[in-house]
Amino acid sequence: MTQIAPIAAPTGPAARPARSTPGAGGFRLPSAPGNPAPAPAEAAAPATLAGLLALQEAATPAPRDRAARRHGQALLGGLAALQRALLGAGGARAALDHLATLLAAAPPAEDPGLAALLDAIALRCRIELARHDGGGT
């Protein structure tokens, strides 16, 4: 029977993986002889304080939108309380009064999408108030 000899590890320049130097990251075009390429730190423009403040302001919702969102959640909670009261938990009159009070104190929203959503929730609240106040419950 013939034995197979193990393969020896290759030696020489083809055997060694290419190593990168610590500062040689990324692709660079060769520069013209009289025009040296800028260092990576020089290429990035420093951020201005005004730009950072504008970015931070754009990332957070306006205070009016936060208040409107909280109010919309309170309206949805009032609708849920009315549903529980009508399904047998009792206190439908108190739930209707609470819903009417919440509906009267609706803050405006700056975001048009949020304003449309809040208008739809308020419409549902007005429908429930008209429906149950007209029924004498």
Report if residue 72 sits inside a domain.
yes
Question: In this model, does residue 16 exceed pLDDT 90?
Answer: no
What count of other Cβ atoms lies within 10 Å of the Cβ of residue 118?
20
Question: In this model, does residue 8 exceed pLDDT 60?
Answer: yes
Report if residue 90 sits inside a domain.
yes
Question: In this model, does residue 60 exceed pLDDT 70?
Answer: no
Report if residue 32 sits inside a domain.
no
**What share of the chain in percent tops pLDDT 90?**
34
| CA-based torsion, 49, 53, 54, 59: positive or negative | positive
Q: How many domains does the chain have?
A: 1
User: If you average pLDDT over each of 6-15, 69-78, 103-112, 128-137, which comes out highest?
Assistant: 69-78
Query: Which residues constitute the domain of residue 84?
Result: 64-135
Residue range 31-55: mean pLDDT, rounded:
60
Which of residues 91 and 13 earns the better pLDDT score?
A: 91
Report if residue 11 sits inside a domain.
no
Question: Which residue, chain included where needed, has tokens 């009267």?
Answer: 104
